[in-house]
Structure 1
Amino acid sequence: MAAAAAAAVVSSRVVVPRMKLGSQGLEVSALGLGCMGMSFAYGPPKPEPDMVRLIHHPIAAGVTFLDTSDFYGPHTNELLLGKALQLKDTAGGGVIREKVQLATKFVILYVDGKQEVHGDPAYVRAACEGSLRRLGVDCIDLYYQHRIDTRVPIEVTISELKKLVEEGKIKYIGLSEASASTIRRAHAVHPITAVQLEWSIWSRDVEGDIIPTCRELGIGIVAYSPLGRGFLSGGAKLIDSLSEQDARKIFPRFQPENLDKNAQIFERVNSMTTRKGCMPSQLALTWVCHQGNDVCPIPGTTKVENFNQNIGALSVKLTPEEMNELESYAAASDVQGDRYLQMGNTWKYSETPPLSSWKSE
């Protein structure tokens, strides 16, 4: 309790720095806000008035980089943000939209109850128009391809996104869960501003090839699930609090056969908190923040007190020795279970056909 209270006090004093995300001109807060869990995946949708207030709280604190997707709901998370963004900014005048950098995504949709990935030009355009309507905006700051359609050459998808940039409907293009070779091919068509990927103490498979590729090309890195989907905040006890509708119930790392081993990772991280005077979630988030000034983590939350803890991580400092210590707690051999139940829609399986194979309809 004392550590939590201290975290809340620290958060009220934090000045959130700004950062250049990529080399194309996009500037965002150095910490973002993932909005998915407000409407989707992590249990039933939360009450809209509460979530609107929650969205406004980080913005008032200086966290202005908001992340959503048309897949979250589907559509309901974008509608929620649209309502929040159109409200007046009582502190600074104008509307909230004028203060934020808005990122959304396209490509995943439900067909007959099953997820499908679509990157063909007609769908790209239709998805963008739909997001613009739901969000109530004229232009999306950062538009990601949420997953890679392995049936469509990446050049074809990016060419349509390039047209949307030229038309002023989106400002910057991003990719999510893309391999290094896919990133290179996309970047050759139009500069990619950011790549969103899962990166945390216990999810580090991107470090071998993808992170170096992004840095070579001047592409910003947006780290989702920096708190291990909440596990690095509360450990195994998190499982007991999840509703039956929570997707984490079926994630491999949360299954009984993996839980005991993974719980040891959390306990090791937690053992450092007394020495550092902070929460385990702050240690985990600080580790990601310390990866470089081209990295922006986007932890999600549905509670103001959790946000206050997260923003407090910006005041925690780790020495190189402490960074190494944290990494040793979650060596790849110690983490049990895959990131997803089905790993098909991840960067490891994101290669697309050559452009020469494409026949437009």
Structure 2
Amino acid sequence: MHRLGHFSVFPLEMAAGFSLNGASVTLLHPFPAKAASHKATTIPGLCLADRADTFTGPMKWLWHRCSGNPILLCLAWLILHVRPGTYDLVYWSDFKSDNQQSTWPLGLASLLGLYSHRTAFTEHHNFSWNRHRWQRLFRLDRIRLRRVEMFVHSRKLLEWIRLNMNWPAVGHYVAHGLWPDPASNEERAIARRNLGIADDARVLLVFGLQAVRRKEIDTLADAIRRMTLDRPLVLLFAGMKVKDEPHPFDMPELTQKAHLHIRHHESFIPDEAVKSFFAAADAVWAYYGAFIGASGVLAQAIAFGRVSICSDTGESGELSRQYRIGLLAPTGDLAGVQAALSTFMSMSAAEQASFEAATHDAARELAWPNITRQIMDMTLAGPTIR
């Protein structure tokens, strides 16, 4: 299921992973989806908006009164129209950022005996106990997760959740999945030629929403400002720009710096063009400071076989250490970031090839079918919930 029907990469690719493990999967979404097919497999969908004219009774009333709450709409459909046991697992893949609130309907419906489906969901975010301290005081968080399995794609985030909920056994960790598609040296040469980048340049990609503070682009700028470059460095910015944040690489001190070449492609990048940007790069900037969750950009870097430059904190640091797929810099340590960039600039072809080979091994292990297989093994092992 997917909130608001806007299919991001995550839920559709999870569904494809389940399907490739032999599961019969249906995507339930309240409103028409922007994308409902996947290159790896065909996933049938069930759009509530397409059936709205047939709704009667409580479902019709909810459809007109709760159009702004897609979770309630999907929950009502499951309660009213789907018998328990029809599906072995109902996986809610995209809640609001504040899952403390949005998972409540599931727990309450389960407590009242209205909802009896075996259920799991993904928690992407930590949450504010200042906003929900009454839940902790009365231990209502346990009702929220009644008969609901929680999966987290970050070991540090799971530790944080368990500590703050005072519930050491809650939740399961599985890594964030990806689809291996390593870019070859030939694809690197073609991508650089198309972008007008010299073959001998070192290319660092900053991909995705160009959120200066969240992605620490300002930290990258401060580190490069202190460096003396003895060979060409191309910074490739690809993704939508945040309008209310001045971009530090627009400053004359950096735009005029010797051997530094700044390329802005700050617009929406369609799916079919994504690989070309990663193919052109030698490394990907995934240094997100104190962020402890999983990084979609890091997952893409691994999938496309590119070295990453990460903070040593959170899931990015854990994955980088575990698979030896990139360079680490301590969080909040500008000198450490500068040292990592210097290592990247001086990396030999053999060292580059070794890192890229490690990403290929990691990508095979982190492929979505393997990740969803782990989820299925953990959720389907126990007795069916009735």
Common topology (TM > 0.5): no
* TM-score (structure 1 length as normaliser): 0.34
* TM-score (structure 2 length as normaliser): 0.33
Q: Quick check: which has more Rg, 1 or 2?
A: 2
